[in-house]
Structures are given as structure tokens and as C-alpha cells.
Structure 1
């Protein structure tokens, strides 16, 4: 795990000077609750797991609620968290990984991303 000082610097860079924020699933997280498994605890993890060929690099890490991490596990690229489907993607031009929510349009049976 990333040590607390580095994690808080990443929080400041990604989220700013806020005590509370939300991860990609909409779960509330609290700056001071890094590595605490409670209602607002959070972790830093890899979008693409190292075990699945992901790089050990800052462009492959993400802040998320600890429950989101438990649900995602090592699944890649598609996974379910907070009862929604997500897909991890890689932007070759900017060299970073990110997560998108998959939206199903049941009427037309098509797939949409936001």
C-alpha cells in the first residue's frame, strides 16, 4: 500500500483541498480516512491490476472507496461495483487508464458509455 503522506498528496492533486469527495461509483470518501474501512474510507489502487499486465505507474492508479475496491477486485476490464457495470479503458494518446460506467439502453439493445 502507498504510505499515508503520498496518498494525501495524491488526494490534494486529484481532488483538491476538500475533506470529502466521491469515487467513480458515487460513494462518499473522506480525506482523513485513508485505509480505514468505514462508511467513508478509501484506498489507492490500480485501474488495470499488475497481475493483468497493468504498469506500476501513477497513470494507472485511482482513488476509490474501499467497498468499490472489494467489489472490483482484480476484474479487468469489465467489473461491477455498487450494482453498476464499469469498464476500465486506456487512453493511448495521453497514456493513462480510466474507468467509465456502462449504460445499457434496453429499448434499443445498445451499449452507451458516460
Structure 2
């Protein structure tokens, strides 16, 4: 697994803005990752129910880079579970209503 990606505050906000906004929820606090898992802005870098990390879309080991276009916000459990099988991405957390649930999914990244 790759090491924690170090980014500055401006990049962190830019990455947060890549997460999906949810109607009726303040976008500065709550968003969803690509798998639909709830993430909370102030939980960045924490292993909590709404914690999230910065993840490579295309891993460095598969020719990716650290440009903002190749980074995404991801629930920490999804980031841990996804592996480096690009262009396949695995996730294990999604949501049902206002709560996160365990749900294994396999994605094809285009």
C-alpha cells in the first residue's frame, strides 16, 4: 500500500470539492466519495466512521502521478480496500440514507 499522501490546505480543499455534494447537507462539512460513502471534512486523515484520505486514482505503481487530477477523496476504509489493480477499483463502504454501510463493489475506472 502506498504511504499517506501529503498535501497542503489549498490542495485539500480542491480535493474535497471533487467529492459529491448531497442535497440538503452543508457541502463544506458533508460529501460522499465515489462509492457513495459519507465523508466529513473535519475527519480528514482519521480512522473514524466518516474519516477520509487522499487516494491515487491511477496508483504510482501503475504509472500514476501526484497531480491533483490523479487524486480523489476516499473514505479511509475504501482507500485501504481498493488495492492497486488499476483500472479496477474495489470499495467496501457505501451508504444507505444518512449512514454508512458495508457494501463491496468493483468499479472499472475509465
TM-score (norm 2): 0.70
1:8 is paired with a residue whose SS is helix
- Structure 1 unaligned runs (5+)? 90-114
DSSP-derived class of the 2:78 partner: helix
Check conservation: 2:16, 2:73, Cα contact below 8 A. no
More strand by share: 1
Matches of 1:56 and 1:3 in 2, distance apart?
10
CA shift, 1:65, in A, is 0.4
Shift of 1:5: 1.6
**8 Å contact kept, 1:20–1:31:** yes
Taking structure 1 as the reference length, the TM-score comes to 0.67
Measured at CA, do residues 21 and 74 of structure 1 come closer, stay the same or move farther in structure 2, by a change above 3 Å?
Answer: same
Does the alignment pair 1:25 with 2:35? Answer: yes
Note if contact 1:42-1:65 (Cα within 8 Å) is conserved in structure 2: yes
Gaps of 5+ in 2: 22-26, 93-103
- Over alpha carbons, which structure has the higher Rg? 1
Equivalent residue number for residue 8 of structure 1? 12
Whose RCO is larger (CA < 8 A, sep 6+)? 2
